[in-house]
Structures are given as structure tokens and as C-alpha cells.
Amino acid sequence: MGSAIAQRLASLGHEMMVWNRSADKARSLGLPVAATPQALASACEMVISILTDANAVDQVYGEMLKADVKGKLFIEMSTVRPDVQKALSQKVLSRGARLVECPVGGTIGPAKEGKLFGFAGGEAADVARAKPVLDQMCRRVEHVGPIGSGARFKLAINLPLLVYWQALGEALSLVRDLQIERLLDLVQQLDDGHRVESQIIAQMVIRSDSRRVAFQIGRKRLNDSGSGRVVGGHARSLLVGRIVYLR
């Protein structure tokens, strides 16, 4: 996702510098590559980050905030717990910089076209400062509240999608001896809201060399590092199971 966002902004004429924990991925973009996160933060007035999990956020920002970042703006787009964003905001503020969180909804394709959905959290003035760039990445940006609110919105968006994937797996099992492509075509026609997801599954089914296509969602805990806490701080466990379709 980060590479797609960088490509999008570079295509619009932004002067870019990139860094990735996998150096080859950074070099593959054909953009100037910073030697370290600290060097990146020193060179840029606005820093956009999208990282795997809370540990990655802590490690990378631990390096970036060693630089002189006074007056700079950080836009943090990772999907992490609300409390991770709140703690990060305090660290950024202590260094004289500002933070806006903006986790996004969408995939690599929409990211390349600037058609993500952004859930921004932060002070109104900081979000206003970030919005011209966010608008170039997203077809819709919502300022949903203070720091931590964006993470909560992202989790609220993800939860029904997880339920959808499990329900689709059940639907596939009902017609496993019939033409699965016909079902997917009907799903697309009946519910445009899930057109993208249906097309992804159709491609997986059609391109699979085996007679088995498995979709494993697995056990998710809303208080794990990659998920987050529900509103009010009460942790919940969610078992969404394993979805397997046998042809």
C-alpha cells in the first residue's frame, strides 16, 4: 500500500523521498531513497507512514523522532490500536511536531488512483494542513474526531467486512458442485457494494491450479497489535473462522 501511495503522489508532481524496511522495495520505486528513517524525517517537511503493526510504528518513529522535526507534520496511516496512535501523538508533540492519523480503506488499485477512503483523527488545524495531500490519496476524507478516532473508525469498518467474508464462504459451500462463477456474477449484480471483493474471489477461483481454494481469516482478537480495542476500551474476542471452498 505504501508503494502505491508513493507512486500516486510522485505522479502528481510531489518532490518525494522514500524509505522502507525492505530496501529493495524502496529502490524499486525509482525515487530518492533515504538511508535511514532519521534522514528521511530531517529532509522532509511532511512525512507519511504506513506500517505493518504497532511494533513497526514504535521502531520507525523511534528513529525518525531523533531528527530535528520541529514544525513538521506526520501523517500516520497504519491500522493499529487507538491507544498506539494516542501514545505516538504525545511523542511527536514532545518533539515540537504535529501528528494526524489517517488509516485508509481500500486496496492497492484504488491507492494508485487516489480513490481510498480516509478516516482522519487529530486537531482541526492539523487535519486542514494535511487535507490537500490526503485529498490526492483519497476520494473521501472524513475528519472523525481527535487522535485515536481514526483507528476506531477503521476497526468499525473492518468488522462487517470480516462478517461478509465468512458469509460468502458459507454461500460458496452451498453451490460447490455447481458453477461458482455464476454465483459470483449474480452477487456482483445484486450488490454493487461488494463488487470488488467478488471479483477478487472470482480471479482466485479461475486462476487456481488446484481444486481447492481456501480463505483463512482465522482468529482475531480486537485487542491484538494488528486490530485494536473497541469503543469504550472493552476488549472483545472475535472468532471468524476458516472459510474453505472445495471444487
In the 3-class helix/strand/coil scheme, how is 48-107 assigned residue by residue?
Answer: EECCCCHHHHHHHHHHHCCCCCCCCEEEECCCCCHHHHHHHHHHHHHCCCEEEECCEECC
Question: Hey, which residues does 46 pair with through a beta bridge?
Answer: 73
| Cβ-proximal residues to 194 (8 Å cutoff; 6+ apart), any chain | 164, 187, 188
> What is the amino acid identity at position 130?
A
> What is the amino acid identity at position 89?
S
Output the CA–CA distances (angstroms, integers) from residue 11 to 38, 47, 233, in the order listed. 25, 17, 41
* Cα 169 to Cα 159: distance, rounded to the nearest angstrom: 16
Helix axes 82-94, 149-174, angle to 10 degrees: 150
Say what the pTM is: 0.75
Among candidate residues 148, 153, 92, the one with its CA nearest the CA of residue 117: 153
pLDDT at residue 205 is higher than 70 = no
What average pLDDT score do residues 14-36 get?
Answer: 93
pLDDT at residue 42 is higher than 60 = yes
Angle at 3 between CA 24 and CA 10, to 5 degrees: 110
pLDDT at 191: 58
Output the CA–CA distances (angstroms, integers) from residue 26 to 7, 16, 38, in the order listed. 11, 12, 16
pLDDT at residue 225 is higher than 70 = no
Top-confidence residue, 181 or 152? 152
pLDDT > 70: percent of the chain: 75
> What are the tens digits of pLDDT across the range 71-123?
999 999 999 999 999 999 999 999 999 999 999 998 899 999 999 999 999 99
Top-confidence residue, 244 or 56? 56
Output the CA–CA distances (angstroms, integers) from residue 6 to 12, 84, 103, 136, 218, in the order listed. 10, 24, 15, 11, 31
* Cα 60 to Cα 67: distance, rounded to the nearest angstrom: 12
User: What domains are there in the chain, each with its CATH number?
Assistant: 2-147 (3.40.50.720), 159-246 (no CATH)
First to last CA, the chain: 32
* Cα 100 to Cα 85: distance, rounded to the nearest angstrom: 9
Among candidate residues 241, 233, 152, 166, the one with its CA nearest the CA of residue 201: 166
What average pLDDT score do residues 142-168 get?
Answer: 89
Output the CA–CA distances (angstroms, integers) from residue 135 to 5, 29, 38, 116, 125, in the order listed. 12, 22, 27, 9, 16
Note the residue count of the chain: 247
pLDDT at 230: 40
